[in-house]
Each structure stands twice: as C-alpha cells, then as structure tokens.
A and B are shown apart, each in its own frame.
Chain A
Amino acid sequence: MDNIKEQIMKVMSTVFEVPSEKITENSSPDIIESWDSLKHLNLILALEEEFDITIPDEEVGNMHNFKLIELIINECKK
C-alpha cells in the first residue's frame, strides 16, 4: 500500500476513533457509525493539516468515501 493511502487511513482511524483495521477502501458514513457531519469537519481539517493542502470548497462535501478522499487529496497535492 502506498504512503498516502496509509496516511489517510491513519487520520481516519484517529478522527473517527475506530481501530485502523476497520478502515478499508469501502469506508463511508454508512459503515462507520461515528462519521457524522461534525466528525466530517474534523476529518477535513485533519487531512488538510496532515497533507498541508487546502481542499476546495466544492470538494469538501464530496469526500464521503475512502476512494473519493484519496482521489481529491492526490488532486490537491499536484
């Protein structure tokens, strides 16, 4: 697994307070119970700090599963 993937998973596990093995490529608010709208804000802020990026306004609401998060972060890092 590449580094960015791993880093995202680590942040998600920390923010949602779930063990890291519970975070998969299919993780979404439907699967992770603690992923509500408030925790979603915390996730955005944590990811921005972790990768030193600013996620565009229109993408903030889109990042609702692991694959999209990874895609958008890679986009921002370019």
Chain B
Amino acid sequence: MSERTRVRAERFGAIAELVRPRALVFVDRAFARRLGVESEGWKADPTGDGALGARPLSAPIEAHLQLTNRCDAGCQGCYTGATPHGAPGEWGPVEWKRAIDHLAARGVFHLALGGGESAILPWLGEVAAHARARGVTPNLTTSGLAGLDALVSIAHLFGQINVSMDGIGPAYAAVRGSDRFAEADRAIRRLRAVKREIGINVVVTRVNFADLDEIIRYARRRRLNEVELLRFKPAGRGAATFAGLTCSDAQHRAFWPTVARAARRHRIRIRVDCSYTPMLVHHRLDRKLLERLAVYGCIAGDFLVGARANGSLSACSFAPVAPGRPKLDELESYWEREGAFGPFRTWREADEPCRSCEYLTLCRGGCKAVALHVEGDATRPDPECPRVVDFRRGRPGRIRLPVAI
C-alpha cells in the first residue's frame, strides 16, 4: 500500500491524508501550497481561504456503500430493513468497481462498506482490492454472523473492520432481537487473531445504555482498537421500533459524561457518530477544540454520501434517495446541482433554537433522519437535542455548565 500523502484541493485550502497516524488533515491555502497544491479557483475567491465548513466540500471525503441488502439476521432495529432476499436491482462487482473509479477520481479518501451483510458476497475482496488499487481505503462493518471464513482471509484488505455488538451476553438479544452474542464474539476473536484494526459498533439504546461501561470493558478485554457508539436511527425496521428503543432524554444528557468516564477507565479509543453532536455540545465542550477535531453534526451530502444496494445516491445511509434519484456514478454532475441533497444542505436556514445556538455551524441542526421521522420534516431541529427539548418545554437558553469528568 502506498504511504504517500494524498492531497485534494478545496476552496479553503486542501485536505491531506496521513497513513501513520491515520488522519485527514484540513489545511489552509498557504499550507496547501507548501504541499504542492494550487487551485485556479482560489484567485477568484480570496475570502474562502481557511473557511472550512462555509460551503460544502468539493466532494465527499467518505462514501458509505450498502453493497447488498441481503442478511438473514433479522435484527429488530435494522436501519436498512435487510432481508435474506436483498433489494431489487442490487449492483454487482462490475457496477461497484466502476463507481469506485468515479469516487477515486473525485478524490474520495475512504469507503465504509456495509449492508445487509456484505461479508457473504463472494466478490467483497475483489471490490476492496479494487478500492485499494485506486488509493481509496475500504473499511467494513459486519455482523460477524455470516461469511466469516471468507472475511478472515481478506481482512488485510480493509483499513478497519468493526463488528456490530450491541450488548454482552443476554443483553445482545435484548437490543437485536436474537440471541447470537456467542457467534458475534467468535467473529471478533477470529478477526482479531489476524488483524489489529478490529473494533465494535454499538448502537446505543435505552435498553443497553446502562451497560455501556461493560461493553467498553469487553472491547478492552478482547484487545480491540476502538469502540464506535451509534445513536439509534428510525430507518428501516428501526422506524417501527424507534419509540421503544431510542434513548430517553435523561440518557441523552448523560451520554457524554458516561462515555468520557468509560474512555478514561478502560483506556480505549472511542468514536461517536455524527448524530451525537447535539449531545456533546449540550455540555458546552470547547468550541475551538471541536472545530480543530472537525467534530460536526449532520454532514450528509457534504463530508459523506451514501449509496443503496442498487447504486442510488443518498445524503447518508438513513436519508431518502436524493432528489432526482441519481446513481452513485453520477455524483460529479449531481454534487454542484442547485438543491442537491435537498434539506441536508439547508442547515444555515435553521429554525430556533438552532438558529441562535453558538454551535450551529458545527452541529448543523443535529440528525435530520431523526427529525424527518419524528417531525415529518428533515429541516426541523433534531427533536432529541437537549437544547431543543428545553426550548419546547419553555426553558430556552438553559445552559449546562462544563462537566468535570
């Protein structure tokens, strides 16, 4: 694998990829020039220098590809509603490799491959190797419940592999609806035996919130390199189970202190998904630090895009197919189109209480998938954001003091 730095010009300067340590670095124009990058567009736009976030990127940094919607696990909260039969018109390796060529030409850095259960695809390794050859790093999420033998043999092709693990022992069944903890645990152990970059994805629900510390301890015990915490989303079968599984308001407010304590206690890297940004900024974390870590809320249709198993383009995996129903390999022409990705790019026109929130340019109104489901309108503020909850209870401006962890 090449370890040369890949650099992509942007309006604000450039994005450069580091392999060791793994990082995407956003730099201004002067720094970009020192890396040998120059853009014709900079002269005509002198105010854009360093203005990260002022406009959408020139292309996503990451694409989330649902390679198939086939999966027999039948999890009650599956956000894609995966079935053993998959979706009509699913793409095969030829179409995905062509789309990866297109993404590579646009300067996309990373892929997150998922499903369904992509590990069952006999051509998964072929697609991952193709991405590698194009300079795009493929990463993978798997349930660990199918296709494990084949996956172990191609694990080296991926940058990071995470196994879905929403609870330890019987708690796994309480969240996912079937008792397959032992199988998922076996998959983690087998993958970890051949690769260091193995982690777990944990969908946080009101059922397993109290077990987060135990789950993170489990990851440490299995010598995993990260835990990624995901907010429950009302998509696919998750739409029907959302009301019963989404965290309570009290749990959302306790999320950051809980995670911070567990990270310190167990000394393991923890990642939180973009939809948790409202729950982070609720604790008035250092705004400058959040900016420097590029911690954003909804960056769908900007930093990331999704693609369904039939190649249909969406702002993110939870979003409806983009207006005009473009395919992933039409990304270049669609990206600059007026109204592209509909409500996912209109966060600057947010309603209160987002409009007056000092974190709006970072949080961007929270998760639009949740707003769409609960409010019927993706442009509305995230209804689970503590600030929004307080505003609607008639307590606007309630402020949490910084929490000492």
A and B: bona fide binding partners? no
Q: Which residues of A contact B (CB under 8 A)?
A: none
